[in-house]
């Protein structure tokens, strides 16, 4: 998506009263008339309403918003926002019944190509698990990280937190999908954990900073969590749980669901055990999951981090790339200089970063360590 297109997209989706369905109809009108969202901004109210058939009450809000922004509005967008048609936008988002209009992120941008390719594993469960559930979630986070798999969860209490801690303990790549804006921490006790996940991996949310937190947001984030994953593990959950919603979404996306069998007499295992009755795959050990999935997309980087001699004379596996890095080239400039796909290059740079060979700098640049 070009810079101006991103600006106009952000401007329209920020308009009060315009959700997914309204933005879809707006885009459909632009396509039908072979116009852009910028062109529709200048349409008179009656012409716009005639094409869109929106009610008077909504058009009044849209018109008030357009007047407040002016005929030549600012097209500035948040620094760390991802929109549909952006290169790293996960295509699976678009197949959702309610796709996000944008996602806001913080942490390592180089994680996005891995998530866009659905090369991660989601681990979910109840906020009030048994000791067994907590231990299993922690072990899963560790085992997946050691096998090179990014571990995705929701930064909630209980199973989510245990899986994040396990991933961090193994120096893995944690991904936190938030039900709050990035400038909010929930629960507040997870402030340190959220900062650790941001530093080691990636946080993202569909809610812009400053947005009001609603209870329903936490269920909505489950669909995004599943959409960046190639497998879902439900560790433990009761009969009424957002984890069951995640499993339902995974089923619609042909994403395999694994479930840890739990105590048949414990309330917090009733929902997850019910998934087993419906045909989910039992998960008896973290190792059995790795045997089924194989090595993750970061496995090569983990091997390199163990075996690589980091002295300058030994880092010669890709001298042209490292030379460009040291010259301060951006990702786009590196891609052009090396004649390679920017997505593949971003993935290689992520592996080098995780191996401790390079470290990121502002402006999509890196430097050798």
What's the N-to-C CA distance of the chain in angstroms?
33
CA separation for the pair 363, 346 (Å, rounded): 13
CA 99 to chain centre: 13
| Sequence-separated (6 or more) residues with CB below 8 Å from residue 47 | none
Furthest CA-CA distance within the chain: 70
Co-location of 57 and 151 in the same domain: no
Co-location of 142 and 35 in the same domain: no
Which of residues 241, 258, 293 is at a domain's end?
293
CA separation for the pair 276, 254 (Å, rounded): 16
**Location of structure tokens 């009733």:** 270
Kindly state whether residue 138 falls inside one of the protein's structural domains.
Answer: yes
CB neighbours of residue 209 within 10 Å:
14
Give which of 4, 243, 9, 10 is closest to 122, Cα–Cα.
243
**What is the pTM assigned to this prediction?**
0.82
Preceding omega of 315 cis (within 30 degrees of 0): no
CATH, residue 287: 3.40.50.450
CATH, residue 346: 1.10.10
Angle between helices 319-326 and 342-354 in degrees, nearest 10: 80
Co-location of 250 and 111 in the same domain: yes
pLDDT tens for the chain, 369 residues: list them. Answer: 566 899 999 999 999 999 999 999 999 999 999 999 999 999 999 999 999 999 999 999 999 999 999 999 999 999 899 999 898 999 999 999 999 999 999 999 989 999 999 999 999 999 999 999 999 999 999 999 999 999 999 999 999 999 999 999 999 999 999 999 999 999 999 999 999 999 999 999 999 999 988 888 999 999 999 999 999 999 999 999 999 999 999 999 999 999 999 999 999 999 999 999 999 999 999 999 999 999 999 987 666 554 433 333 333 346 778 888 888 888 878 888 888 777 677 777 877 877 677 877 766 778 877
Segments forming the whole domain that contains residue 220: 91-293
In 3-state terms, what secondary structure has residue 60? helix
Q: How far are the Cα atoms of 3, 60, 205, 266 from residue 102, in angstroms, in the given order?
A: 15, 24, 9, 39
């Amino acid at each position: 998506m070009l810079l101006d297109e991103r600006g106009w997209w952000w401007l329209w989706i920020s308009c009060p009263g315009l959700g997914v369905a309204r933005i879809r109809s707006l885009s459909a009108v632009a396509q039908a008339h072979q116009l852009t969202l910028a062109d529709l901004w200048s349409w008179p109210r009656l012409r716009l309403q005639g094409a869109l058939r929106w009610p008077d009450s909504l058009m009044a809000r849209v018109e008030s918003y357009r007047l407040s922004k002016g005929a030549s509005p600012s097209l500035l967008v948040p620094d760390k926002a991802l929109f549909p048609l952006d290169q790293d936008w996960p295509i699976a988002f678009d197949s959702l019944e309610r796709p996000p209009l944008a996602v806001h992120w913080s942490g390592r941008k180089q994680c996005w190509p891995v998530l866009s390719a659905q090369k991660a594993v989601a681990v979910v469960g109840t906020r009030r698990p048994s000791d067994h559930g907590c231990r299993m979630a922690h072990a899963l986070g560790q085992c997946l990280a050691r096998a090179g798999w990014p571990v995705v969860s929701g930064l909630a209490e209980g199973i989510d937190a245990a899986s994040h801690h396990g991933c961090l303990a193994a120096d893995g790549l944690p991904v936190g999908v938030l039900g709050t804006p990035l400038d909010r921490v929930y629960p507040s006790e997870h402030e340190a954990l959220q900062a650790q996940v941001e530093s080691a991996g990636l946080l993202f949310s569909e809610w812009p900073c400053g947005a009001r937190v609603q209870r329903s947001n936490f269920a909505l984030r489950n669909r995004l969590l599943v959409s960046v994953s190639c497998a879902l593990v439900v560790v433990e959950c009761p009969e009424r749980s957002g984890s069951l919603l995640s499993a339902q979404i995974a089923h619609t996306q042909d994403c395999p669901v694994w479930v840890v069998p739990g105590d048949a007499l414990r309330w917090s295992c009733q929902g997850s055990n019910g998934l087993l009755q419906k045909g989910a795959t039992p998960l008896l050990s973290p190792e059995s999951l790795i045997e089924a999935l194989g090595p993750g997309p970061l496995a090569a980087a983990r091997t390199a981090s163990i075996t690589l001699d980091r002295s300058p004379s030994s880092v010669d596996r890709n001298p042209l790339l490292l030379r460009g890095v040291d010259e301060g080239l951006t990702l786009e400039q590196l891609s052009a200089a090396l004649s390679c796909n920017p997505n593949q290059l971003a993935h290689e740079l992520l592996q080098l970063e995780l191996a401790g060979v390079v470290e990121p700098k502002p402006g999509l640049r890196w430097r050798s360590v």
